[in-house]
Structure 1
């Protein structure tokens, strides 16, 4: 085929494919060398025209409310995603299913209220995760970080967390830094397992360590959560408070009362049984005596009848 005849269908398909990969840079964003920067562009939705070969994506300081898995999943080469300071409220199942190469993820300073247990299920290469400054985020499921086995830095500062399940960190063997300050930690007995985890995990100490403190109960308010394990162990395992003593006293009283009632009922049943047995014995004795009298009378009458010389009384 000569050049004069124009490009063939193969060339057109190749050009179309390259156009999809290259993409057209989103409006008001800067695209260069596999990096897209859309910082502070007042975006309300996730941009759909991002080049598919993008490796670093900056969406911080916008008003984006959600991360659509369909569009995000097209960016299979993405390793760095910054969504800081947006209005994202939820991260649903498999949101990041297509960006399994992701190493850095920043979801800080959003309006997060819910993180699905399977949100990060495919992010096995994730090294740094920032979810700080989401004051409405009060709960994390124990399987939230189950597959993020490469995670080294986890930032959970200034959220609404009151407790965490220690099993949530069971698979994070590479974890080096864990930031927990600014949360209203409730250091009750259900917090004990996580407090023990903090004691034995040998995480790298940081300036954040002493700022992560208990808010409740009152006797532990202000205690660093990294040092509350032993006091909690004493309070919850080896020490009984006034409520515990009252509870044990009530149990003892109930056992005593139940035993007393059972003994009284048993005694009454025994007395009634003995009375019934005695009455039955008396009735049997009367019947036996009557039978003896009748027999003796019959024998006597027989002797009288058989002996004509026996004096007749009548």
Structure 2
């Protein structure tokens, strides 16, 4: 770039309302910048400039005189002071598509939760039936005498002896 060595830039009193900071960022050697005397627009389209001024205030010879010309509620405020305000103001409104997105996401989350709860209920009922059926089979085997020929694991043997000791 041909302006890489530019150290001082003064665009004061040129009736500027906006300035693209990309051109300023392309000047790495810039040490001083004059912006005063311009009716700067402190609206969302100039948010980047205002934030950049806030962050790089050491480069301004006349930062105290670099003020907003519009809108009316910000008139006279220094550009460096409104940078943070603009960040908040310009990014706080939501469009109708944003609200539609939130509603859709909420519905999807609700539906997923409902389906998950229903599935867990079905699994629990099926498991309960399985356990009940298994217990009935064990009781039938005990009554028919078939269980005497099959080896019983230690834990089941102990639990059966406890059951019979309470009955007698």
TM-score normalised according to structure 1 size = 0.32
Which string of whole-angstrom CA distances, capped at 9 and with x for unpartnered residues, describes residues 72-127 of structure 1? xxxxxxxxxxxxxxxxxxxxxxxxxxxxxxxxxxxxxxxxxxxxxx1x2xxxxxxx
Quote the Cα distance in structure 2 between the aligned partners of 1:242 and 1:195.
Answer: 22
- Structure 1 residue aligned with 2:84: 233
Quote the Cα distance in structure 1 between the aligned partners of 2:105 and 2:48.
Answer: 29
Looking at secondary structure, tell me which structure has more helix per residue.
2
Quote the Cα distance in structure 2 between the aligned partners of 1:289 and 1:219.
Answer: 88
Structure 2: runs of 5 or more not aligned: 147-168
Quote the Cα distance in structure 1 between the aligned partners of 2:115 and 2:108.
Answer: 11
> Offset of 1:209 from its aligned partner?
5.5
- Structure 2 residue aligned with 1:196: 54
Structure 1: runs of 5 or more not aligned: 1-117, 121-144, 297-314
Going from structure 1 to structure 2, the CA distance change for 1:168 and 1:179 (only over 3 Å counts) comes to farther
| Conservation of the 8 A alpha-carbon contact between 1:158 and 1:180 | yes
Larger RCO (alpha carbons 8 Å, 6+ apart): 2
Runs (4 or more) in structure 1 with deviation over 3 Å come to: 152-162, 175-182, 184-187, 197-200, 218-221, 239-242, 244-263
Highest CA radius of gyration, 1 or 2?
Answer: 1
Going from structure 1 to structure 2, the CA distance change for 1:193 and 1:247 (only over 3 Å counts) comes to farther
Going from structure 1 to structure 2, the CA distance change for 1:176 and 1:195 (only over 3 Å counts) comes to closer
Instruction: Give the 3-state SS of the residue equivalent to 1:229 in structure 2.
Output: helix
Going from structure 1 to structure 2, the CA distance change for 1:200 and 1:249 (only over 3 Å counts) comes to farther
- Structure 1 residue aligned with 2:125: 275
Between the two proteins, the alignment pairs up a number of residues equal to: 141
| Conservation of the 8 A alpha-carbon contact between 1:176 and 1:203 | yes
Instruction: Give the 3-state SS of the residue equivalent to 1:243 in structure 2.
Output: coil
Instruction: Give the 3-state SS of the residue equivalent to 2:21 in structure 1.
Output: coil
Q: CA RMSD in A?
A: 4.6
> Offset of 1:236 from its aligned partner?
1.7
> Offset of 1:271 from its aligned partner?
0.9
1:263 is aligned to 2:119: no
> Offset of 1:275 from its aligned partner?
0.8
